[in-house]
Structure formats: structure tokens, C-alpha cells
Structure 1
Amino acid sequence: MGSLIRAEFRKIFTTNLWWGLLIPTVLLGVFWSWGFSALGTSLVEGLRSSEAFEGIDADSWMTSVFGFARGANLSTLFPMIFGALAVTGENYRRTITTTFLTAPSRGAALGAKLVVYALMGLGFGVVVALSTSLGTVLGAGSTPLPGATGWFLLILSTILETVLWTLLGVGLGALVGNVFAAVIGLLFYALLVENVGVIALSNVVGTAFPTVLPNSSASGMPGAVAADLFLNGVGPIHPMFEKEARLLVEAAAGAQGAFPWWANTLIFTGYTALFVVLGWVGSRRRDIN
């Protein structure tokens, strides 16, 4: 297994793909979180100067955390693509035959890829967390920032989300086998299909549809942390408006209807494990030439 892992690292670092995806990850993380944090700051400052909201203490409104959650969730698109290319890229370049023939089994080859891409996902996760943290600080302005515990939970949930997205991409790529189908399918689902579906389901049931779908559960990892941090800073809310306020805050964090962040992590881990198993089965049955 050690030689297979070393071979996978050589495949990654002898190409430009990893840093080609790392650059937009950093840029998107910084500027997207910066923009959302700055937007939240502008809204809070507008409330402070508005006579209609006179008497409302908005000094403790931690709107900056929404920028973090939004920036982190969008930035994980690139690690997801990186994982999807683990197997499909080799299929496209026709090197998968050599990989499978030189490994003790196809399962061992896929296992080595999972180990390596989990570590790469960890590296990407650290980069995503740091870049979104920088953007959040730059855009926060006069609004408060999280404390040490808050930062830790935001960073931890972001790193875990990134690792899981990377591994889910590996599993889906192994299942589908085609580079274009895997990458375009993942992007189309994450950016459009599920978002439209969640809105439609929420309208049907009359409330926010719970985050039991893959993209929603992933977004709910840092999103739920951000929502909790904001609500804790605001303080007690009248019971009559508590439910609506919670849904509004979760929507701002990109995680409407979210479970606690640890529950979202377990749900998304289940989806990741499912696609890894399906990818393993698909790669075993696929002919190579």
C-alpha cells in the first residue's frame, strides 16, 4: 500500500492540476467571504442609522460569520472537482490500466487514492478555512468577530466539509468513469439541481426542508455554526418570533433548515461513504483496455 500511496502523490505533484485548482480556491474564499461580510456590515450600519429601528441594539450582531459560511461552502467546489478527477482523469489519459495492473487489486488502488485524496482534501480544507477567515476579517468592519471557540468550530467544520467533498468526488468519479459527466454532473447538482429542489420542497411542506440532501447537509456544517454564533450574540428572542428568526438567520448562512453542525457532518459522511462504496463496486466491474 505504501508504494501505491507514493505513486498517487507523484501523479498529483507532477502535474499542474492541484495548484491550478488551489489558486481559484484561495481567490474565491477570500473575495466571496469578504463581499458577504462587508454586505452584512453595511446592513448593520444602516440599521444603526435608521429611525425605524431606533432602540434596537445591533452592536452584537455578528453578521461576519455569514460571509465565512458562504465563502467556505462555495470554495469547496474546487476540492470536489479535484476529487472527481482522481479516477476519471486517469480514464481520460488512459493510464488507469497501468494503475490497476500494477496494484495487487483494484480495491487496493482505489484505497490508495482515497488515502491520498483525503490528505489532499485536508490540505485544501486548511486553505479554504484560512482564505475565508481572511476575507471575513477584512469585510467585518465594525461588526464583531467570533471568539476562539467560534473560530475553531467554523474552521473545523470547513476542513471536514472539504475532506468529505473531495472523497465524495473520488467515489463518484470511480462510479461514473467519465471525466466530463463526473465534473459537470457534480457542479450542476451542487449549484442548481438541489437548490431548486429544496426551494420547491420547502414550498410544498410550508417550512424549510431539512438538510438531509448532500449539498444541503454539507453547507449546513459551517452554516449551522455561523447561525448559532449569530443567534448567541443577538441574545434572547421572543418565542413568537424565534422560529422565523432562526430560519432567516440560517438562510443568511446558506443553511436554511439546518440540523446542528455535527448532525450535518454525520449525514454528509453517510453520503460520502455511499458514493465511495458505489465507486469501488463500479470500478471493479468496469472493463479496462
Structure 2
Amino acid sequence: MRALASEFMKVFTTRMWWLLALIMAAYLAFTAGGLGALFGFSIANPDAAAAAGASAPPLGDLALAPLVYSFATSTGYVFPVIIGALAVTGEFRHRTLTATFLAAPRRSGVLTAKYLAHLPIGAGYGVLAFAATIGVGAAAMGGFGLDTALGDPDTWAMVGRGVLAMALWATIGVGLGSVVPNQVAAIVIVLAFTQFVEPLLRMAASVSDATSQIGKFLPGAASDALVGQSFYSLAAIGDSSASLEWWQGGLVLLGLGLVLTVIGGATTWRRDVS
């Protein structure tokens, strides 16, 4: 318990957690509000939107409100991954890990405390992310008279699953940081994989039924399956019919975080840090 309390203190006595949270909220509010306004204008004024070249892509069978709100996880998940990775790599970078191990010689206990501490931290990021997308997205859609679906229980069930997804993403960050202790390298890997590599892999996997069965196990695809909504569905990236069940997506994220943490604990975490 002391190790767990220490990990919370290490996070909340720095500026990084609230700076990342602020950037995340602003980014998600902008994207959700922009998408809501685009669809609102396009639906309320189809002729003017077509003339101005601002027509929104067709939704098909997708509901607009959950699609807008899901920006919280489909693009915002990178932030809890980064905060989780920084919790580990920061100790290597600032040479505080030596003091940590002197105070808590059981290294596995320290890593476990980091893993467990970032479950509620990631969930907190999830609550803030959905507050941003729902607050601004609902206002944008409501301004054009569109249904915000805030009275639909399915919307709040999606939010709950999204908060869980963000919590699991934070533990994946902890696992990654334990495997790749170099802070710059870890952040580059996170940004490169989440923003470029995986979207391309998901697009490539959608070309056939065989590859789509593999692509659904990618972390982002598993996260979207857990949440139940994603703007990737609108962009036609990935085969939605081949997606996992929500609980299967959760297990993939949970397993990835645990596997990375165990690997890091068995390798990097055992090395001399002085």
C-alpha cells in the first residue's frame, strides 16, 4: 500500500499529468465539436453544404452522437498510454529509480504498484476525455437540432466501457515503459504506432476476410471493439463485421498490458540502475 501511495504521489506532484490532461481535453473538444458541427450543418442545410463542398460523409447505419463521443477513445487513448510510459521512463531518466529500489527492495512490488496506480489514473483521463467530447459534441449537434442521445442508456454504457478502455491503455503504457526505459524512444514508439503504423495496418487488414480476422486483434481495433463505437467505422478502416465482442476487446487490452509488464519486469527491471 505504501508503494501504491508513492506511485500516486509521483504522478500528482508533477505538472505532466495535468498538462497532458489539458491538451487531451482541448484536442478532443475541438475534434468532437468540429465533427458535430460538420454533420449538423450538412444535415440541417444539405443544399448549402453541397454548394460549399462541406458535405459530411454518409453515416449509413451508424448513429451520429455515439460516433462523435467515441473520439474520446478512438483518438484520445494515446494520452493515457503516454502518462503510463512516463511513469516508468521518468524514473530512469531522472535517476530516481535507485532511491525507489532502496526504499522498496522488492522490485516486482514497485512495478506492480505502478501498474495498479495507473488503472484509476487512466480511468480519470477517460472521464475527462468523455466530458470534453460529450460537452462540446452534444452542444454542436444540439445547436443544429440533432439528437444528442444523452437520454439513451446505450450511450452511457459506451462511456463506461470507454473509461475502462482508457484505464487499460494506461497500464499498456506502464508495460511499454518497463520494456523500453528510454523516455524519448518510448514516446516515439507510442506516437508512431498509434498515429501511423496501426491505422495503416488496419487499413491493409481490411482488404480480405483472412487478414481482417488478424487485424481485429490489433490494440486499437480491440479498444474500438470494447467501446463499441469508433470514427474508424465512418472512415471505412477495418472490417466492422470482423470486430471482436466488447469483452474480448477488453481481454486483449488487459493481456497486452500484463504481457508487456511481465516482460519488462523480467528483463529491464532486473538490471543494475545505479
CA distance in 2, matches of 1:97, 1:122: 29
Counterpart mapping for 1:162-241 below 5 A: 162-205=166-209, 210-222=215-227, 224-225=228-229
Listed as ranges, the gaps of 5+ residues in structure 1 are 51-57, 228-248
CA distance in 2, matches of 1:198, 1:124: 25
Between the two proteins, the alignment pairs up a number of residues equal to: 259
Q: State whether structure 2 residue 145 is matched by structure 1 residue 142.
A: yes
Cα shift at 1:178: 0.8
In structure 2, do the counterparts of structure 1 residues 48 and 123 end up closer, same or farther at CA, with 3 Å as the change threshold?
same
Listed as ranges, the gaps of 5+ residues in structure 2 are 50-58
Name the structure 1 match of 2:63.
62
In structure 2, do the counterparts of structure 1 residues 218 and 61 end up closer, same or farther at CA, with 3 Å as the change threshold?
closer
In structure 2, do the counterparts of structure 1 residues 14 and 207 end up closer, same or farther at CA, with 3 Å as the change threshold?
closer
Write out per-residue CA displacement over residues 215-274 of structure 1, whole angstroms, 9 at most, x where no aligned residue: 22113333x2469xxxxxxxxxxxxxxxxxxxxx82348764233333322222222222
Partner SS for 2:206: helix
Write out per-residue CA displacement over residues 44-87 of structure 1, whole angstroms, 9 at most, x where no aligned residue: 3355999xxxxxxx9x9731222111243212211111001111
Name the structure 2 match of 1:269.
254
Counterpart mapping for 1:1-289 below 5 A: 2-46=1-45, 62-140=63-141, 141-146=144-149, 147-205=151-209, 210-222=215-227, 224-225=228-229, 250-252=233-235, 256-257=239-240, 258-289=243-274
Q: Contact 2:174–2:257 at 8 Å: present in 1 too?
A: no
Q: Contact 1:84–1:173 at 8 Å: present in 2 too?
A: yes
TM-score by length of 2: 0.84
When structure 1 is superposed on structure 2, of 105-114 and 210-219 the one drifting more is 210-219
TM-score by length of 1: 0.80
Partner SS for 2:27: helix
CA distance in 1, matches of 2:72, 2:239: 16
Partner SS for 2:14: coil
When structure 1 is superposed on structure 2, of 72-81 and 178-187 the one drifting more is 72-81
- Sequence identity of aligned pairs in percent? 28
In structure 2, do the counterparts of structure 1 residues 87 and 158 end up closer, same or farther at CA, with 3 Å as the change threshold?
same
In structure 2, do the counterparts of structure 1 residues 123 and 254 end up closer, same or farther at CA, with 3 Å as the change threshold?
farther
Q: Contact 1:37–1:68 at 8 Å: present in 2 too?
A: no
Question: Counterpart of 2:28 in structure 1: which amino acid?
Answer: G
Name the structure 2 match of 1:246.
none
CA distance in 1, matches of 2:17, 2:197: 27
In structure 2, do the counterparts of structure 1 residues 133 and 178 end up closer, same or farther at CA, with 3 Å as the change threshold?
same
Question: Counterpart of 2:226 in structure 1: which amino acid?
Answer: M
- Superposition misfits of 4+ residues, deviation over 4 angstroms: 46-50, 204-210, 252-256
Name the structure 2 match of 1:54.
none
CA distance in 2, matches of 1:282, 1:37: 46
Q: Contact 1:83–1:166 at 8 Å: present in 2 too?
A: yes
